[in-house]
């Protein structure tokens, strides 16, 4: 997938309570409260970016403006110029996936691996070199050692995907001597059903989505609603820490709005 350039992304976006409610299947009254409460949190949210030479870090504000309209039932969010290069790292095709499928992932690294799996869903496996994976995760010069790279990205992503879906995702490392040069991922094939339109006679393949795992349905629903109502914001793919939180639904919604402007 093509990575967008910062100048290609629109900085100001409107997100309505109706859109949010439809996207995450939440009560419309809850959605109004979420958007209203999110204004203060959006303006206080920043990301921590470690310097490539490990000499320090900087903090970047996410929004330069967040406005709530009671009469219109929407918020207007304007991203800062400094945050745009990081948002541009997210693949253009991200919006093609059902956002409800990835909204509970704790990191966009997990989202990127999940979307990669979808490209090979009929084979049940895929092979990528370490360099290709670094490009896919758009990490630049971060995580210089292989073990650190593995733990921070695809190892964590595999666990998170398996915790959410009955997909049996695992990986094997391929080596040249002692050096790992590629990673092979294995997972359950996606079932394909051929459906024919009785009126037109046109056939198409319908893919069965991975089964969502709900170990404790009541707790799961309660946790999802809590995350949405609290409006927690997380850019875990940009932060170097172990405090992984669920991906924020508001940010996910706004990303969808961003990419919907570039077909």
Write down the CATH number for the domain with range 6-191+207-260. Answer: 1.10.10.10
Whether residue 117 contacts residue 106, with contact meaning beta carbons closer than 8 Å, is answered with: no
User: b/e per residue, 8-43, with b = 16+ CB within 10 A?
Assistant: ebebebebbbebbbebbebeeebbbebbbebbebbe
Q: pLDDT tens per residue, the chain (263 residues)?
A: 444 454 556 778 888 888 877 766 678 888 888 888 878 877 877 776 666 666 777 888 878 998 999 899 898 888 888 877 766 554 443 343 444 566 567 677 888 898 888 888 888 899 999 999 998 888 877 888 999 999 999 999 999 999 888 888 999 999 999 999 999 999 987 655 456 666 777 765 554 555 555 554 444 433 333 333 333 333 333 332 223 232 344 555 555 544 444 33
Going by C-beta distance under 8 Å and a sequence separation of 6 or more, which residues neighbour residue 132?
none
Whether residue 17 contacts residue 35, with contact meaning beta carbons closer than 8 Å, is answered with: yes
Q: Say what angle helices 217-230 and 28-44 make with each other, to 10 degrees.
A: 50
Query: What residue segments make up the domains of the chain, in order of their start?
Result: 6-191+207-260
Tokens of 7: 């100048």
């Amino acid at each position: 997938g093509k990575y967008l350039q910062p100048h290609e992304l629109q900085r100001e976006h409107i997100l309505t309570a109706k859109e949010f409610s439809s996207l995450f299947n939440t009560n419309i009254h809850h959605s109004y409260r979420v958007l209203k409460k999110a204004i203060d949190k959006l303006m206080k949210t920043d990301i921590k970016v470690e310097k490539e030479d490990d000499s320090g870090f900087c903090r970047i504000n996410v929004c330069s403006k967040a406005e709530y309209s009671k009469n219109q039932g929407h918020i207007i969010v304007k991203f800062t110029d400094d945050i745009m290069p990081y948002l541009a790292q997210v693949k253009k095709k991200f919006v093609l996936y059902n956002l409800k499928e990835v909204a509970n992932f704790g990191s966009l690294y997990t989202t990127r691996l999940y979307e990669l799996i979808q490209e090979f869903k009929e084979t049940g496996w895929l092979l990528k070199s370490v360099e290709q994976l670094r490009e896919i995760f758009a990490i630049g010069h971060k995580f210089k050692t292989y073990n650190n790279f593995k733990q921070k990205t695809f190892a964590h992503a595999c666990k998170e995907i398996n915790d959410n879906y009955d997909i049996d995702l695992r990986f094997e490392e391929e080596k040249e001597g002692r050096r790992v040069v590629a990673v092979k991922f294995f997972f359950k094939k996606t079932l394909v059903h051929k459906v024919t339109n009785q009126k037109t006679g046109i056939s198409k393949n319908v893919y069965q989505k991975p089964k969502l795992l709900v170990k404790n349905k009541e707790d799961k629903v309660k946790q999802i609603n809590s995350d949405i109502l609290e409006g927690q914001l997380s850019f875990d793919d940009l932060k170097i820490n172990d405090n992984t939180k669920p991906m924020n639904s508001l940010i996910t919604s706004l990303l969808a709005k961003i990419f919907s402007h570039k077909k």
